[in-house]
Structure 1
């Protein structure tokens, strides 16, 4: 099961995204701050990140996106904001941006698409490894 880290300081938004992703078959870990999220990724691998940009504390969702991209190069990253536009920020090249309010079905579809791509990469690398024997 693919693991998604959902990070948003607004509890209702975090719960709504979490419920939708769990309903779609993802394992979800929640965090309300970037510091909490960093603690959670220290505990293990994540496959995907969903984060708001503006968060309490010194670090932003953009900082978190860069950290996740550095630690987990194949992780899918979705960044959302209602106040900031993509041109105003320096996101990792693999990150997808969604403006708030966003369509939750589109968010779930994005994660499903990223999951299929990850499965295909894993399958093709397994085929390459076994055919090279």
Structure 2
């Protein structure tokens, strides 16, 4: 079973993504801050992380940078309301497979997650 870490400081988004992805048969864990996310990544294995760019304590860019420095390879989808502003920063990260703008279409989101996880098999 594929494991996904959903990282977002908004409880409603974490719940929505957990519902969507659980219904696809994935095992989901969540984190509200970048620090909490790193703790979970260090103690678990994930096939994909879904990362809000603007999260407290350690933001999305810093989290991705930390994972690359530590050679922790995990595919990532970055979600943000500021897609134009962050594209250059996150596209430098090899782990970022997609950047999705908020608000997003749930059906499209589901398809993109499934496609990325199929690529990693």
TM-score (norm 2): 0.85
2:46 is paired with a residue whose SS is coil
Where relative contact order (Cα < 8 A, 6+ residues apart) is larger, the structure is 2
Q: Which has the larger radius of gyration?
A: 1
Compute the RMSD of aligned alpha carbons.
1.7
Specify whether residues 68 and 26 from structure 1 end up closer, same or farther in structure 2 by C-alpha distance, changes over 3 A only.
Answer: farther
Q: Distance in 2 between matches of 1:111 and 1:68?
A: 20
CA shift at 1:83, angstroms? Answer: 2.6
1:49 and 1:65 in contact (8 A); partners too: no
Which residue is equivalent to 1:25? 25
Counterpart-to-counterpart distance in 1, 2:118 and 2:88: 30
Q: Distance in 2 between matches of 1:90 and 1:79?
A: 8
CA shift in 2, pair 1:64/1:104, >3 Å: farther
Distance 1:45 1:105, change over 3 A: same
CA positional deviation for 1:43 = 1.1
Alignment partner, residue 54 of structure 2: 54
CA distance in 2, matches of 1:88, 1:118: 24
Structure 2 CA distance, aligned partners of 1:65 and 1:41? 11
Q: Secondary structure at the match of 1:89?
A: helix
State the Cα deviation string for residues 77-114 of structure 1 (Å, max 9, x = none): 10011134243524413411011111122222111111
Partner of 2:65: 66
Q: 2:106 aligns with which of 88, 104, 121?
A: 104
Deviation string 1:27-56 (CA, Å, 9 cap, x unpaired) is 111000001111111212111010111112
Q: Distance in 2 between matches of 1:71 and 1:108?
A: 28
Equivalences, count: 117
Task: Say which SS state the counterpart of residue 118 (structure 2) adopts.
Answer: helix
